[in-house]
A = this chain, B = another copy of it.
Amino acid sequence: MMIRFPLVVLVLIIGALRCRMARAEQSPGSGNVYTLASVREDLVRQEDTIIYGLIERAKFPSNSHTYDEKYAQIPHFCGSLVEFVVKNTEALQAKAGRYKNPEENAFFPENLSPSIVPSYPFKQFLHPGAASININKSIWKMYFQDLLPLLATPGDDGNYAQTAANDLSLLQAISRRVHYGKFVAEVKFRDSPEDYEPLIRAKDKEGLMKLLTFTSVEESVRKRVEKKASVFGQEVSLESVDNDNKKRKFDPTVASSLYKNWVIPLTKEVQVEYLLRRLD
Q: Give the B-binding residues of A (Cβ under 8 A).
A: 8, 12, 16, 19, 23, 26-29, 31-32, 45, 48-49, 52, 55-56, 59, 61, 65, 71-75, 81, 84-85, 88-89, 92-93, 95-98, 100-101, 104, 116-118, 120-122, 153-162, 164-165, 169, 220, 223-224, 227-228, 231-232, 234, 236-239, 241, 246-247, 249
Contact = CB atoms under 8 A, between A and B. Distances in A.
Number of copies: 2
B26 A155 contact: yes
A231 B241 contact: yes
B153 A23 contact: yes
A81 B96 contact: yes
A108 to B, nearest CB: 14
A247 B16 contact: yes
B31 A61 contact: yes
Nearest to A75: B116
B45 A49 contact: no
A160 B232 contact: no
A112 to B, nearest CB: 12
Most chain B CB neighbours (cut-off 10 Å) among A32, A59, A237: A237
Contacts of A246: 16
A95 B76 CA distance: 13
Given A231-B236, A238-B224, A158 B117 contact: no
A12 to B, nearest CB: 7
A117 B81 contact: yes
Contact of A223 (B16, B104, B153, B238): B238
Contacts of A8: 239
A211 to B, nearest CB: 24
A156 B93 contact: no
A236 B227 contact: yes
A69 to B, nearest CB: 12
Contacts of A97: 160-161
B247 A238 contact: no
Given A49-B59, A121-B158, 8 more contacts: A23-B61, A26-B154, A52-B52, A71-B118, A74-B95, A85-B92, A96-B164, A231-B241
